[in-house]
A = this chain, B = another copy of it.
Amino acid sequence: MTCSIARTVSIVGDAWTLLLLREVFLRSRRFEDFQAHTGMSPHLLSVRLSKLVSHGILDRVVYQKRPLRYEYRPTAKGLELYPIVLALTYWGDRWTSGRKGPPTRLVHKTCGRPMYAVPTCSECGERIRPQEVRAEIGDALATERASMRARLKGPVS
């Protein structure tokens, strides 16, 4: 897969993993906490934790020796998934909260105010709107997409 979104999705793009990431950013670190707050079965949870560890998103660290206990801490690579969690939160708050308002308040400690995340341009700092972005598909991805289209139309005789 050449597409960055497809690659990201293949690593974190399932419902349980996204909930697990939420928990990581709510400062959960232990198996029992992940299990309790997501409702995942132990098996489902271990498979997902192992995958995140194998991709270098979480580190598995001993926090107690007798009996041996591990916790899961986000790496630098894992912490950079935060914009995804912020974006999921924003949309859910805005479009699914109903009358009661958002279930959680995110307070920006730097300025002390409740906030939501606004995606801005790394270059000019302006808010990014979909109409104002042009995606320039590179050669490798363009070739892959053309061959997917060709495959759909059937073999050329």
Chain B CB within 8 A of A113 CB: yes
Count contacts on A: residues with CB < 8 A to the other chain: 86
How many monomers of this protein are in the complex?
A: 2
For the complex, give the distance between the alpha carbons of A22 and B135 in Å.
Answer: 11
A96 with B128: CB separation less than 8 A: no
Which of B19, B135, B148 touches A9 (beta carbons < 8 Å)? B19
Within 8 A of B (CB), among A105-153: 105-111, 113-126, 128-130, 132-138, 140-141, 145, 148-149, 151-152
Q: Kindly report which residue of chain B lies nearest to residue A26, judged by CB atoms.
A: B135
Inter-chain contact A3/B135, CB cutoff 8 Å: no
A:67-109 near B, CB below 8 Å: 74, 77, 79-97, 100, 102-109
